[in-house]
Amino acid sequence: MHKNHLAIDIGASSGRHIVGWMENGVLRTEEVYRFPNSVQRVDGHLEWDIDSLFANVKQGIREAFAKYPNIESLSIDTWAVDYVLLKNDQPIYPVYTYRDSRTQAVIPEVHSILPFEQLYQRTGIQFQPFNSIYQLYADKKA
């Protein structure tokens, strides 16, 4: 029996659950669940529907295990710059998307504290106005 692995890919417009395994030296995959994902405009900001995302991730895991009960590993891939703040293991709302414009106003202030050249030397990350550092700083100021 081959080893099954579950990959969950959450993109800006949809999410999918894919089971993969090696068969005679060839990687095989099967999409077992797909769901729509979208942002919501609330009070002038763009937010993720985190409750729907979480429910769909759990539903896809259930469906994957129903079809492939011997899944040995699970991984989740998302946008990399977004996050959910937690308090007492519960989400703190709202959960903004990287597409939200709230970071624009704080970029100069962040760079006055940590010039971009130093930030780049420390992280190696190119400048994008939606990078997590700007989002976190905007949240701190809110």
pLDDT, residue 7, reads 99
pLDDT, residue 80, reads 84
Domains of the chain: 1-82 (3.30.420.40), 100-142 (no CATH)
- Could you give the CA distance from residue 98 to residue 130 in angstroms, rounded to a whole number? 5
The structure's pTM equals: 0.85
Nearest CA to 38 among 29, 48, 51?
48
Arithmetic mean of pLDDT, 4-27: 97
CA distances from 51 to 54, 74, 81, 85, 95 (A): 5, 20, 19, 14, 10
Look at residue 79 and tell me whether its pLDDT is greater than 90: no
Condensed to tens digits (0 to 9), the pLDDT of residues 121-133 reads 999 999 999 999 9
- Could you give the CA distance from residue 49 to residue 9 in angstroms, rounded to a whole number? 16
Is the CB of residue 133 less than 8 Å from the CB of residue 83? Answer: no
pLDDT, residue 1, reads 78
